[in-house]
Structure 1
Amino acid sequence: MMTNHDLIKHQIKKFCFEKLKNNQEPLERFEKLVNSSSNMIENALKPELISATIIFSYLREHKLNGRGGITTKQLADYFGVKPQAVTSKVFDVDCIVNRSAIFPDDLKEHYEFIDIDRFEVSEEYYEFLESLEADDYKKSEKILLKLIKLDPDFFDTYTVLHEYYLNNGKGTKAYNLMQKGYERAMNLVLNKNGKFPDSLPWGFIENRHIIRVMFNFAALLWLNSDKKNALVIFNRLLKSNPDDNIGARYVIVAIHEGVKSIYEFEKMFDDGSGNWDWEAQEKWFWETASKYKSEIGWWLELEE
């Protein structure tokens, strides 16, 4: 004798073969239901109703039910159940296999992150930048490590210390430090569901140290030929702050163009006197970005 699991799976496969050109999406919904609520399958008094409801869930989402498609009555007749039973049961099934049909706003809720004011450590940090110690590598390292201990989630200290390390030939220490800072920054901004912010606005000063540490860690990945992960971070920064005060759009295009590092990119627009040629950079960007519309076209459309 077939179990409910085997019977429902067989019924769905048969319907898909006969009526849906062997489309496998209803079967995927069935497996999701099995993994999330096996009791609904095992304890079903009428397995045919579960089969019909899973099919109905798929048809309704893709607008294949009703006039011009497969009506609820036709579906119910195929499985030998009542149409009203199918429409009543679909709520329970959709809550598991197609939650967006029931709670669309729940999945699309906009998540904005704004950090707390880290006044105490930031005041000490800016005082350090203005001090004589800032010119001394050894003293600077000691002070910055102390500030990191004071507040390990204030990330400008990581960014500046990694620059000291790079300037003194300590690339591994720079990378390890920034990796730690980046990981802490991610733990700070991800919500309880592990979602990166839809909005991480630069306009809030409290967020800038987070954006800077992420940008600079991505630049290190880029320098170390890890373009894939660098692009993930740069794209997150651009999408969460389309005003792009940090300049993520430029480096995204540069990476796709084959530029090897942020240092190589910066040399492209050095006018020879140590000044930045912003007009040349903008001209280059708009001429080059059009080649990569699949990667950055969404941002270009915002500017049109």
Structure 2
Amino acid sequence: MTDRHLDIAIDQVRSVLVGKTHAPQVKAFFDEPTFTVSYVVSDAATGKAAIIDSVWNFDQASGRTSFESADAIIAYVTDQGLTVDWILETHAHADHLSAAPYLQEKLGGKLAIGREIVTVQGVFGKIFNEGTQFARDGSQFDRLLDDGDTLMVGEIPLVALHVPGHTPADIAYVVGDALFTGDTMFMPDYGSARADFPGGDARQLYRSVRRLMQLPDETRVFLCHDYKAPNRDEYMWETTILAERTGNVHLHDGVSEDDFVAMRTQRDATLAMPKLILPSLQVNMRGGHLPEPDENGVSYLRLPVNLL
């Protein structure tokens, strides 16, 4: 995608915000075992809502799943009398399983993700040696989003921005004055996401974050994860574009692309694989569904040995 097209999408977001008050209500749900923050974003005027990056609880040792995190979202939506129109994923997560199908069954709404999920399906379909029965066309989702696509949360516009780097398929969502970054950047004192997964690219990540930092300084920024920076005792997941642009330890104003790439490459080489990456990707590339069960009615997740 050319810089011109990127600028058009950012200008599109700015045009939505200029002269208007679009401040959605945002409710966060933090899942400490995976350090993941899920969100319910709603329009107070209409009661319409979107859910972003839900968590399906999974115990790897036993292979058992549960829905505590998703049920907390359902309880909130029900208590507030909200109608869910959209269930959104910022990307195919490597650290938790998505609860999207369960939430869709209980609350309705359409499931959406970035169009480049087909690239991720192609890469990991090969890694997990999936057969031809695994569709690699994104058909597991109700809508595939292109850069600049606009949805509505009630009367509040939601603009999808393609922000590759962590994975090829990452999408950030601007909902009124709120930005949901997915895995691009974290709290200013923690920095940026890794870029060493298959299809990841530190240069793309740098440019994606720089693009987001063109948004108005007062834009509220909601992060997908927090791991507590050194010397910080509390989890945090809300900041502003101004705070990120001026204070992000990896990506503040003045950090060059080459310096960031060198830092990110060196840092990523020291990181362990996420604990749930293998089960998560098999489920999340299917839109939150388990693989088709075997003849005994049980679904199985694969573990490629000495491949990654």
Alignment TM class, shorter chain as reference: under 0.3
Q: Under a length normalisation based on structure 2, what TM-score does the superposition of the two structures give?
A: 0.27
Whichever structure has more strand as a proportion of its residues is 2
**TM-score w.r.t. length of structure 1:** 0.27
More helix, by proportion: 1
Q: Report which of the two structures shows the higher radius of gyration computed on alpha carbons.
A: 1
